[in-house]
Amino acid sequence: MPKTAARVAVAALFLVNGASFASVVPRYPELQDSLGLSNAALGTAIAAFPLGSLAAGLLAGPVLARWRSANVAVWCSALLAADLVVIGLAARWWQLAGALFVAGAMDAVVDVAMNAHGLRVQRAYGRSIVNSFHALWSVGAIIGGLGGSLAAGVAAPLPLHFGAAALALAAVAITSRTFLLPGPDDSAHRGTPRARPRLHTLLVLLALGALCAASALVEDTAASWGAIYLRDSLGAAAALSGGVFVALQAAQTVGRFSGDRLVDRFGARTVARTGGALVVVAVGGALLWPSIPTTIIGFALAGWGIATIIPAGFNAADAVPGLPPGAGLAVVGWLYRLGVLAGPPVVGLLADAVSLRLGLVVVPVAGVLIVLLSGRLSRAAWRRTSRPG
């Protein structure tokens, strides 16, 4: 049936999106060495990714209105995959930063487009399925991370690795276009009158954006600095370079596949607060007693802790009344990327000034923020926001 095929196609786009950037993560140490970058310089280059996301994030709404979510999700996914080749060929700091900026811009637009189309498919089903899409994103990230670790372990040339990944991922994205839902995008809230004051709506979106930013900071820190911390601080072999990121993504995937049942039983607030506390304890403990096993296990537990937070935040943003189609998603997506922008350079500066181990303290701090902000999910998140279409 069309909706079943569309569900598979959207899942494929989420998987491609997760695998695209995750393919780069385990190769950061080699990029750093080949370009002769300090920790601060690498962190600043990595920060170009969220900066590109910020530059393009608020344009996602108008772009979707002009070209529709299906077209935008597919072709921007293909462009994001192609940008991997540029990253692999970077010979200067500014080339790496520029390629990551473009990747961030494409990722921000794809993020809104594939979530918007996924919510459209969810309305066709008449029940919640969006968590499974985010779980497939995590599966893609695991595939990309494992592939990157394998490539690092066999010392595959960066252009060869990234070129092969780009071809495969772009092919999957383009193939999915045939199976997405036809016609214009709809909205669960079309015609809904503004039910709350503008200030209240803004505060809700700010809180949801900050909550998602804290969750994304945990994940982004593992992606940006996990491989370097394992290698330089703990002496891990190249084949283990993706261990932190892959462990976090694996646990996050399990958490997302089981998240609906946990939230139904215990409530979104309890699940989120428990997850935030787990981030504090697990990663805080790994930093107090540093070793390769405790670090990988600590970040794995953190991945489980943050599993449902961004899907819940996006679901809640889509439920905010009185907003145009996709506006809540675009605003919260932009806000959480704004928060993530500061992460890599802050960690890099702390690493150069003191130690990378101290820089990773931003992760337990993010866990504290999750605990404090999760109350916003108590009523809005994991509530069905749509009707069968």
Length of the chain: 389
Quick one: what percent of the chain has pLDDT higher than 70? 93
Instruction: Convert the pLDDT of each residue in 173-203 to its tens digit.
Output: 999 999 999 877 765 554 454 545 478 888 8
Quick one: what percent of the chain has pLDDT higher than 90? 45
pLDDT reported for residue 123: 80
Residue 268 is which amino acid?
A
Q: Is 381 exposed, middle or buried (0-12, 13-18, 19+ CB in 10 A)?
A: buried
Poorest-confidence range of 16-25, 195-204, 227-236?
195-204
- Report how far apart, in Å, the C-alpha atoms of 15 and of each of 21, 104, 133, 237, 267 are: 11, 17, 8, 28, 28
pLDDT reported for residue 383: 46
Domains of the chain, earliest start first: 2-180+196-380 (1.20.1250.20)
pLDDT reported for residue 187: 56
Distance, CA of 216 to CA of 80 (rounded, Å): 19
Please determine, for residue 262, whether its predicted confidence score (pLDDT) is greater than 80. Answer: yes
What pTM value is reported for the model? 0.77
Mean pLDDT of 205-228: 90
CA nearest 318: which of 230, 234, 387, 259? 387
Range picked from 44-48, 107-111, 226-230, 259-263 for highest mean pLDDT? 107-111
pLDDT reported for residue 384: 43
pLDDT reported for residue 251: 93
Residue that has been written with the tokens 């096993």 in this structure: 293
Please determine, for residue 89, whether its predicted confidence score (pLDDT) is greater than 50. Answer: yes
Q: 292-305 and 362-373 helices cross at what angle (nearest 10)?
A: 20
